[in-house]
């Protein structure tokens, strides 16, 4: 009698077919991941001039989510390269103009000695300024360069002085600022220097138009705060533990999803797979949420590819995407910054393969922090890793440098 075995067990046609199907799906998913990262590899973010990170996360139902830390313009280029619809690629940490302000500074040429220090102060404090002295080269087109500056601005700042309010050219710039204000494409910040409100045009009088002293450190700081959207309201008292404000980079999540995600990453000892596994009931007890709210929040996180679910429904654990994004918001370290440190170390080292434990010892990082950065680098496709059956407490025992590691280090240098 002939006995047929497969994998050391009696041959089971159904199990064999299921195995073939699973292998085919895995190969297909890996191909999708390679295509997404490959599409991003040759594209430079038009906003920064650098390569942005692209993450590919597995979703339930053999689907993937593609996310990027690049600008919306970068995401649209990736979508075009992949042949997917506009808006299908998620931009992480996408911010409005107030978060990264770009200012067009309108003024009269006679006021330049007074305005130049204002422009320099803004630049020194993280506010990009279009200023004609810097942005118009000799022989360049004045009109073209000004149109470029006006088109990119998030804030139109005009210095109103007895000289500038009488200048037809400044009046035309103000008209453009009004059009963009009405269209919602930028904000307008008129500043009065030595003029009264009553001397301004009726349109300007409808806006908040404060007196401004260019030589005052307090007024300059106020201007930077306003351009960055810093509120003047007093801070609110603490909310219920499951009703917290949304941290930067985590907008779009419900309060319940934020509470559950935060609990899972804070409860994880070493950011290992299935570390820890929690039931819906345990999550409700830990966060103070109602069971139904927990179920919906778990579904949200699971659909995004951020939660693993066991064979028994309702038993979940954090996937690497959850560690990467929620660690950034809630832990004392930054996976993104740590990823740059590790990539630089790997590129600078002579060896192609680095032992995880040795690198962690050199950096004085505990396994929880080291594993979080491995999640980041793996998710971004920056490194290759080797695993072992007895790899605890490390997600991988070795990190392997590739050309993608080199590109990542250069792009973030």
pLDDT tens, 18-29?
Answer: 666 667 767 766
**CA separation for the pair 215, 220 (Å, rounded):** 8
Q: How many CB atoms lie within 10 A of CB 353?
A: 12
* 162 in Cβ contact with 141 (< 8 Å): no
**CA separation for the pair 152, 147 (Å, rounded):** 9
For residues 168-192, one letter each, b for 16 or more C-beta atoms within 10 angstroms of the residue's C-beta and e for the rest, the string is eebeebbebbbebeeeeebbbbbbb
What's the rounded mean pLDDT across residues 86-99?
51
How far is CA 273 from each of CA 269, 316, 354, 371, rounded to the nearest angstrom? 11, 11, 21, 10
Confidence of residue 387 (pLDDT cuts 50, 70, 90): confident
Taking alpha carbons only, the member of 298, 303, 305, 340 closest to residue 322 is 305
Highest mean pLDDT among 6-10, 179-183, 293-297: 293-297
What's the rounded mean pLDDT across residues 32-55?
68
Residue 238 has pLDDT above 70, yes or no: no
Percent of the chain exceeding pLDDT 70 equals 72
Residue 266 has pLDDT above 90, yes or no: yes
Residue 160, pLDDT score: 93
Mean of all residue pLDDT scores within the chain: 80
**CA separation for the pair 304, 291 (Å, rounded):** 20
* 295 in Cβ contact with 281 (< 8 Å): no
Tokens of 19: 């195995």
Residue 254, pLDDT score: 82
* 118 in Cβ contact with 171 (< 8 Å): no
Tokens of 105: 């500074």
Q: How many CB atoms lie within 10 A of CB 288?
A: 12
Residue 62 has pLDDT above 70, yes or no: no
400, β-bridge pairs: 353, 384
Residue 64, pLDDT score: 65
Tokens of 393: 């407490």
User: Residue holding tokens 């490194």?
Assistant: 383
Residue 96, pLDDT score: 40
Task: Of 65-79, 132-146, 235-249, 384-398, give the lowest mean pLDDT range.
Answer: 235-249
Superfamily of the domain at 102-227: Toll/interleukin-1 receptor homology (TIR) domain (3.40.50.10140)
How far is CA 195 from each of CA 166, 217, 306, 337, rounded to the nearest angstrom? 12, 20, 56, 47
Residue 262 has pLDDT above 90, yes or no: yes
Tokens of 227: 């351009």
Confidence of residue 240 (pLDDT cuts 50, 70, 90): very low
* 89 in Cβ contact with 52 (< 8 Å): no
What's the rounded mean pLDDT across residues 218-244?
66
Residue 255 has pLDDT above 90, yes or no: no
Taking alpha carbons only, the member of 42, 49, 56 closest to residue 411 is 49
Tokens of 198: 């009553």
Tokens of 11: 């041959």
Residue 82 has pLDDT above 80, yes or no: no
* 287 in Cβ contact with 241 (< 8 Å): yes
Taking alpha carbons only, the member of 322, 389, 397, 334 closest to residue 360 is 397
Residue 393 has pLDDT above 60, yes or no: yes
Residue 195, pLDDT score: 92
Task: Of 193-197, 237-241, 318-322, give the lowest mean pLDDT range.
Answer: 237-241
Residue 358 has pLDDT above 90, yes or no: yes
Residue 376 has pLDDT above 80, yes or no: yes
The CATH class that applies to domain 332-411 reads mainly alpha
Residue 271 has pLDDT above 80, yes or no: yes
Residue 245, pLDDT score: 54
How far is CA 111 from each of CA 74, 114, 164, 167, 328, rounded to the nearest angstrom? 38, 6, 8, 12, 44
Residue 261 has pLDDT above 90, yes or no: yes
Q: What angle do CA 101, 107, 110 make, to 5 degrees?
A: 145
H or E element in which residue 296 lies = helix 291-303
- pTM here is 0.52
Q: What is the CATH number of domain 255-319?
A: 1.10.10.10
When computed from its CA atoms, the radius of gyration of the chain, rounded to whole angstroms, is: 27
**CA separation for the pair 8, 6 (Å, rounded):** 5
Residue 177, pLDDT score: 82
User: Residue holding tokens 């050391």?
Assistant: 8
């Amino acid at each position: 009698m002939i006995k047929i075995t497969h994998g050391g067990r009696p041959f089971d046609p159904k199990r064999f077919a299921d195995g073939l199907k699973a292998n085919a799906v895995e190969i297909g998913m890996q191909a999708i991941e390679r295509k997404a990262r490959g599409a991003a590899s040759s594209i430079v973010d038009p906003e920064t001039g650098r390569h942005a990170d692209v993450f590919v996360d597995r979703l339930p139902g053999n689907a993937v989510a593609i996310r990027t830390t690049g600008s919306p313009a970068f995401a649209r280029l990736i979508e075009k390269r992949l042949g997917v619809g506009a808006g299908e690629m998620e931009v992480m940490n996408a911010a409005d103009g107030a978060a990264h302000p770009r200012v067009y500074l309108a003024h009269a040429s006679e006021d330049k000695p007074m305005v130049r220090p204002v422009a320099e102060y803004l630049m020194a404090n993280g506010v990009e300024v279009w200023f004609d002295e810097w942005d118009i080269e000799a022989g360049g087109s004045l009109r073209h360069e000004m149109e470029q500056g006006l088109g990119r601005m998030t804030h139109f700042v005009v210095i109103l002085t007895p000289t500038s309010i009488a200048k037809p050219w400044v009046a035309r710039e103000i008209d453009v600022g009004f059009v963009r204000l009405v269209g919602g494409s930028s904000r307008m910040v008129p500043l009065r220097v030595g003029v009264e409100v009553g001397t301004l045009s009726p349109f300007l009088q409808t806006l908040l138009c404060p007196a401004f002293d260019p030589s005052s450190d307090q007024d300059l700081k106020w201007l930077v705060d306003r351009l960055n959207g810093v509120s003047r309201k007093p801070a609110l008292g603490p909310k219920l533990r499951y009703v917290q404000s949304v941290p930067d980079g985590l907008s779009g999540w419900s309060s319940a999803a934020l509470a559950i995600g935060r609990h899972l990453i804070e409860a994880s000892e070493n950011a290992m797979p299935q570390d820890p596994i929690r039931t819906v009931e345990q999550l409700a007890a830990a966060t103070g949420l109602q069971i139904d709210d927990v179920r919906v929040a778990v579904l949200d996180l699971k659909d995004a590819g951020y939660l693993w679910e066991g064979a028994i429904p309702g038993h979940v654990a954090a996937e690497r995407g959850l560690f990467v994004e929620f660690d950034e918001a809630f832990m004392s370290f930054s996976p993104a910054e740590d990823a740059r440190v590790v990539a630089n170390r790997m590129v600078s080292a002579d060896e192609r393969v680095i032992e995880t434990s040795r690198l962690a010892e050199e950096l004085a990082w505990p396994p929880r922090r080291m594993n979080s950065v491995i999640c980041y680098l793996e998710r971004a496709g920056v490194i290759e890793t080797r695993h072992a059956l007895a790899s605890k407490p490390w997600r991988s025992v070795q990190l392997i440098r590739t050309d993608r590691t080199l590109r990542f280090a250069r792009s973030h240098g």
